[in-house]
Structure 1
Amino acid sequence: MRHTRRTIRAALTNTHALAAAACGRLGLLRFTLETARRVRIAYTNAAGESSVRDIEPRFVKPNKKTGRLYVHAYDNLRGESRNFTLDRIALEAA
């Protein structure tokens, strides 16, 4: 029983940390959407390669199949609109 409580507490702590991190990203992205600002992100793609990008977020949308959130933004590095998986974004000071 004691082991189960510890496991549950640890899971809740990790869930809260992940939720707090996501809310932080969403909050800043919402601000950039409302004020039409550019934001600098560190992005890790599916292959594990990281890059720093300046993006201009347009909207955030969920993937209907996976439930993951995607940020649709103009990517200044690539010079085109792209979708970024929210959980692969780390915000930086622009």
Structure 2
Amino acid sequence: MQLKPGVVDEYKARHDAIWPELAELLHHSGIRDYSIFLDEETLSLFAVLKLTDDNSREALPEHPVMKKWWDYMAPLMEVEPGNKPKEWALKPVFHLA
């Protein structure tokens, strides 16, 4: 994901005060151990999360709470139509289990 310039502090503040209903939705959707990292030079965000085997992550874009969060965060990030954050996959180059 990609932040816009000058919004790092606001992005962090909004996540520090994550809405309880959003945290509950993510948890009930099977998302666990969720972290977002920032590259301060490029303002790129990298999210890492663990999913339960029975997760329903694919349904999140249609949930009203998720859409409301995306609308809330859209001024801070590069977004797709509908305010979904732009995302792109990274190529795995190393893993140590």
Asked if Structure 1 and Structure 2 have the same fold, meaning a TM-score greater than 0.5 normalized by the shorter chain, the answer is no
**In proportion to residue count, which structure has more strand?**
1
| Smaller-chain TM-score bracket | under 0.3
TM-score with structure 2 length normalisation?
Answer: 0.27
Larger Rg computed on CA atoms: 1
Higher relative contact order (CA 8 A, sep 6+): 2
